[in-house]
Amino acid sequence: MPPPEPFFHFLVVRTANGVSLDFISTDVDFLPMHYAFLVSEAEFDAIFGRIQARGLQYWADPRAQQPGQINRHDGGRGVYFQDPSGHFLEIITRPYGSG
């Protein structure tokens, strides 16, 4: 993934499928959100490798009851982790209900 691009007061992260995530620094408090990304098996391996290399906590479930594990829902793989703001990010290799 390329580094973020400045755009006015945002930092824009562009994904391979043409979607962008626009980040801004603010003093306003936000409630944590959940963001899920459907990725290929190769992308999962690369992302999960970075999660592990950075020593980030990760879980197989959204309630963080299965630490250090991934899930295998619908015949794919999935994992949850938090960004620095406390948002739960999820990567999955199969859409839910597809197995």
pLDDT band at 66 (very low <50, low <70, confident <90, very high): very high
* Distance between CA atoms of residues 48 and 17, nearest Å: 19
Q: How far apart are CA 74 and CA 96, in angstroms?
A: 7
CATH number at residue 54: 3.10.180.10
Q: Are 37 and 89 in contact (CB under 8 A)?
A: yes
pTM: 0.80
Q: Please write the tens of the pLDDT for every residue from 12-56.
A: 998 888 888 898 888 888 888 999 999 999 999 999 999 999 999
**Is 19 a member of any domain?**
no
The whole domain housing 55 covers: 32-92
Q: How far is CA 43 from CA 23, 62, 64, in A?
A: 22, 20, 22
Cα separation, 7 vs 4, whole angstroms = 9
Examine residue 47 and state whether it is found in any structural domain, yes or no: yes
**Mean pLDDT over each residue of the chain, to the nearest integer:** 93
- Structural domain total, the chain: 1
